[in-house]
Structure 1
Amino acid sequence: MPRDNNTSLIQKIASQANITFKDFNASAIGDNKVFLDNRGDLINLLTEVRAADLKIAQMKPNGSHSDQSPPVTYMHICETESFSMGVFLLNSGASIPLHDHPGMNGMLKVLYGKVSIRCFDLLDKPPAQSESETQFDPPLLPSQKDCLRRAVLRATTWFTHDSSPCILTPHRENLHQIDAVDGPAVFLDILAPPYDPEDGRDCHYYQVLQTVPDADSKVEPQKEWEEETWLLEIGQPDGFWCGGEPYLGPKVSF
């Protein structure tokens, strides 16, 4: 098919995302060849995108946030019933805390800088050691015990603009923490379907209660851990908040 040079790359990405996630069925993801083929086409488009395609200027290399400025900023590009898309800008040292996207797909493409992404899965199986047998420091309050979750750390991976997109599914690596490494970082983010608390898709934050061996190591750029740990569901962490800026890149329409 001839390439349409009059259509911006971000419009092509948005159009393909709409095709890919229209009528998405999480339970049939592994058996749906059409969905997997469409997602593959979307991944190929995302692999090409750079900050210049969205007219995003690089942040100051040593920039950091003050108490008055947000550590993370979001630029909203578009949203349909099938997906939402925007850009996150992380200042030096900033982190998007461990959180989930319940029942949702996520696709993250770094535009510049470097990020470290830790991905967890919640476990349905009974843990080998129950919370009543586990000693936490500090000890949990009685009200916190209902917020305990058993999970497994799937991987810690570094991503740059040269990396393929990070892919998160409703069933795999859905919980994740994103840290800017060695300076500020910017990434394009697709969520499908969008957040909708009334439909059970609300964001939850988590705290890791047990240290996973080498989970915070920056030595290895990519490592699969498969280590089990305890997570505590918490409110939005102190010190984290997300500001907003207008998106000034090519327009996206449907």
Structure 2
Amino acid sequence: MPRDNKTPLIQKIAKQAHITFQGFQSEANGDNNLDRHSELVSLVTAIRAADLKIVPRKPQANPGPAGPQNPPVTYMHICETEVFSMGVFLLRAGASIPLHDHPGMNGMLKVLYGKVSVRCFDKLEDNLSVTPPEFDPPVSPPETASVRRAVLRSVAEYSESSGPCLLTPLRDNLHQIDAVEGPTAFLDILAPPYNPDDGRDCHYYKVLHTVGEGGAGSRGREEDEEKEMEETWLLEVPQPEDFWCGGETYPGPTVSF
């Protein structure tokens, strides 16, 4: 049979991601950047597990407790440049990637198999000029310094047939990802990559529910119900003890530049 020299879709995605996000680092060529971003979204929308030689996993009857040899989440590294990083996250049934941020970063999440629920938040401010209200349960003074006001932007489910979930430095930048109804996997693109030395470290958060002024029962039931649901406070916390990420070998086509 003749050799198939067709460029793998994941290679096309990597090339387009590099072009797109390299352009985002410059404020020039605004229209071209939007066109490039649209092209990247189109390519990512088309990717499937089979394109990466990933076999969808079935729910296990007795998966056993998570442990060093059985992490709740694993990651397949595909590639990384100074412009972007790309890989695949695989979640066991019932697993969750806790609420976390992507400071100064753009991103795309595309489900390869299974289904995820994604809750997206935005910080409303980065300073501490607003005094947090009382919380139930109470937040101790040392923790209060890490409290930020935020808004819940969306709660949505994504499957293989869905387009990608998109985030920007200002919109949907914080999110929590939960596996729904079984194991799931998704392609993850971040631009630029995490880099603590450059101010791009991952932070984890816990959603706090306010009481008293601005809390439940203090607003009108109809016109304020939506605002009550959307606005909240987030407490920065250490990485949750029940979450860690193991590594797996990426089986798909090699990506090169």
How high is the TM-score relative to the length of structure 2?
0.86
**Does residue 1:161 correspond to 2:160, yes or no?**
yes
Unpaired runs of at least 5, structure 2: 217-225
Which residues in structure 2 correspond to 1:50-89 (within 5 Å)?
50-62=48-60, 64=63, 66-68=65-67, 69-89=70-90
Contact 1:75 1:87 in 2 (8 A): yes
How high is the TM-score relative to the length of structure 1?
0.87
What per-residue deviation string (whole Å, max 9, x for no partner) do you get for residues 60-84 of structure 1? 2246462321100000000011000
Which residues in structure 2 correspond to 1:140-151 (within 5 Å)?
140-151=139-150
- In 2, distance between residues paired with 1:102 and 1:108? 16
Aligned residue pairs total 238
- In 2, distance between residues paired with 1:23 and 1:45? 17
In the other structure, the counterpart of 2:13 is 13
SS in 1 for 2:242: coil
What per-residue deviation string (whole Å, max 9, x for no partner) do you get for residues 191-234 of structure 1? 00000000000000000011899xxxxxxxxx999711010001
Distance 1:247 1:66, change over 3 A: same
Contact 2:125 2:148 in 1 (8 A): no
Which residues in structure 2 correspond to 1:1-254 (within 5 Å)?
6-25=6-25, 28=27, 32-62=30-60, 64=63, 66-68=65-67, 69-124=70-125, 130-131=131-132, 134-210=133-209, 227-254=230-257
SS in 2 for 1:46: helix
What per-residue deviation string (whole Å, max 9, x for no partner) do you get for residues 147-191 of structure 1? 000000000000000000000000100000000000011000000
Contact 2:75 2:87 in 1 (8 A): yes
Q: Which amino acid aligns with 1:98?
A: L
Runs of 4+ aligned structure 1 residues displaced above 4 Å come to 223-226
- In 1, distance between residues paired with 2:104 and 2:232? 22
Distance 1:144 1:154, change over 3 A: same
In the other structure, the counterpart of 2:222 is none
The Cα of 1:126 is off from its aligned counterpart by: 8.8
- In 2, distance between residues paired with 1:97 and 1:185? 16
SS in 2 for 1:159: strand
Q: Which amino acid aligns with 1:16?
A: Q
- In 1, distance between residues paired with 2:145 and 2:228? 26
Contact 2:23 2:33 in 1 (8 A): no
Identity between Structure 1 and Structure 2 (%): 62
- In 2, distance between residues paired with 1:59 and 1:120? 30
Contact 1:155 1:224 in 2 (8 A): no
Contact 2:92 2:183 in 1 (8 A): yes
Greater alpha carbon shift after TM alignment, 64-73 vs 138-147: 64-73
Contact 1:74 1:242 in 2 (8 A): yes
- In 1, distance between residues paired with 2:5 and 2:106? 29
- In 1, distance between residues paired with 2:100 and 2:14? 24
Please report the RMSD computed on the Cα atoms of aligned residues, expressed in angstroms. 2.6
Larger gyration radius, structure 1 or structure 2: 2
